[in-house]
Amino acid sequence: MPELPEVETSRRGIEPHLTGNVIQYSEVRNSRLRWPVSEQIMKLADQPVLSVRRRAKYLLLELPEGWIIIHLGMSGSLRILLKESPPEKHDHVDLIMADGKILRYTDPRRFGAWLWSDNLDECSVLAHLGPEPLSDVFDGEYLYTLSCNKKTVIKPWLMDNKVVVGVGNIYANEALYVAHILPERPVNSLTQEEAYLLADTIKQILHRSIEQGGTTLKDFLQSDGKPGYFAQELFVYGKKGELCPKCGEKIESIKLGQRSTFFCRQCQH
Ligand SMILES: [Zn+2]
């Protein structure tokens, strides 16, 4: 599933080809995604792209009259074609640009979304989202203040979009390992020092993944290329029974909030 670093990498991959360019028209071959593709997107004609932004895991294409909101769902990906090439089975949406380039959306499982919004402030999918993890608003002080009266469990709390956006299962596992915090602890047991370390660790891990993703940017230009997902360097995620890279103990796995959780009982407290 594309996580925040992949979405940011996608944004950086498509942005130079779209901003300042003009969408001549769209071709929606299958509108039955997670929600039906918005009417306004089907009818696009001669719309300049003013900017390509990201909020949480949504990509936002700014047009003069509104915004195209794209979510990659479970298996969606975007790439830029330099010229027309026959669509394959799962290539559901194209945006045909004035200079002949095509933004092509591929999504085998069709859990993604292409929605229109006249006004992002009133957009229901973006309302109630917490701060961006890489923004200045999200820091140790924020996390600590929010944690004080919470009796829930740390890992699902970190994955709650109202607390912070874009920390999916992989990154929650990895960040708690690096910050030496057991994922099953109650939120209000976090010390101030731990909260600061955890916020910094989340930022570092996401930054590193985005940098790694940068090396795959060329894939956005390969018409036959694989989407821009990238192999992560992981310490504990998916490594049940393997040895902890720090202490050599076996990595354990439990379910928390129905999500696989991996940790080292020796290194995390
Ligand atoms: Zn360990």
Distance 195 CA to ligand 1 centre (A): 20
**Residues 109 and 190 both lie in one domain:** no
CATH number for the domain that contains residue 195: 1.10.8.50
Angstrom distance (rounded) from CA 256 to CA 261: 6
Domain endpoint, select from 122, 155, 182: 122
Residue 127, in any domain of the structure: no
pTM of the model: 0.90
**Residues 115 and 204 both lie in one domain:** no
Point out the residues that are catalytic.
Answer: 2-3, 57, 259
Q: What is the pLDDT of residue 228?
A: 46
List Cβ<8 Å contacts ≥24 apart for 116-122.
Answer: 116/38, 116/39, 116/40, 116/41, 116/66, 116/67, 116/68, 116/69, 117/66, 117/67, 117/69, 118/65, 118/66, 118/67, 119/66, 120/55, 120/60, 120/67
**CA angle 47-224-59, nearest 5°?**
40
CATH number for the domain that contains residue 96: 3.20.190.10
Distance 242 CA to ligand 1 centre (A): 11
- Any binding-site annotation on 54? no
Residue 2, pLDDT above cutoff 90: no
Q: What is the pLDDT of residue 57?
A: 95
Q: What is the pLDDT of residue 225?
A: 45
- Taking only the tens place, the pLDDT of each residue in 124-170 is 999 999 999 999 999 999 999 999 989 999 999 999 999 999 999 99
**Residues 256 and 144 both lie in one domain:** yes
- Any binding-site annotation on 150? yes
**Residues 153 and 258 both lie in one domain:** yes
Q: What is the separation of C-alpha 39 from the centre of its chain, rounded to a whole number of angstroms?
A: 25
- Taking only the tens place, the pLDDT of each residue in 69-116 is 999 999 899 999 998 999 999 999 999 999 999 999 999 999 999 999
Q: What is the pLDDT of residue 223?
A: 41
Q: Are 24 and 97 in contact (CB under 8 A)?
A: yes
- Any binding-site annotation on 208? no
State the residue range of the domain holding 200: 140-263
- Taking only the tens place, the pLDDT of each residue in 215-251 is 555 556 544 444 445 566 789 999 999 999 999 999 9
Mean of the pLDDT values across residues 58-72? 97
